[in-house]
Structures are given as C-alpha cells and as structure tokens.
Amino acid sequence: MSLRSLGVALHCRCIQTESRRIGSLIEKIELIRPNSHCDETEIIATLKKTGEQVCLDPKAPWLKRVIAAIMSNTKP
C-alpha cells in the first residue's frame, strides 16, 4: 500500500509510484494538481477488482496512452 493514511490529509498521498504497466487493471484515475496539502502533481489509480489505490508516475509514457484510451473510450 503506497498511500499515506487518508486520515491525515496534511501532505502528499503518494510515497512511491507503481512502475509496472497496469493499464488494463485500472477502473479510475485521479489527476490531482499541486495544492495546499501537496506541492506535487499526484496521479492515483483505482484498480478494478480490488479497489486498491496505486500511485502512478505522471511522466510514464504508458500512462499517457491509458489516459488517451479512457478519453476516447477505447481499450488501451
């Protein structure tokens, strides 16, 4: 579990990012801009079967393809 406890939202939620290409496992992606709690962009995916939340690297090329696929409603 690479997310800090959600109970205390006074800092970034992501400690490390998942490097494996998990596009097909993803049900939802949250793109979170830097804000008062965290000064970094955070990308958090929610997985289909488990509902687990996983942090992703905003610069990962495969993530850009997954987002484009979601936006155009096609399989990645």
In angstroms, the Cα distances linking 56 to 22, 74 are 10, 20
Closest CA to 46 of 22, 69, 19: 22
| Shortest Cβ 17–a copy of itself spacing (Å) | 13
H/E element, 68: helix 61-71
Q: Does 6 bind a copy of itself (CB under 8 A)?
A: no
Q: Does 11 bind a copy of itself (CB under 8 A)?
A: no
| Shortest Cβ 47–a copy of itself spacing (Å) | 11
Q: Residues interacting with a copy of itself, by CB under 8 A? A: 26-35, 40-41, 43, 48, 58-59, 63-64, 67, 70-73
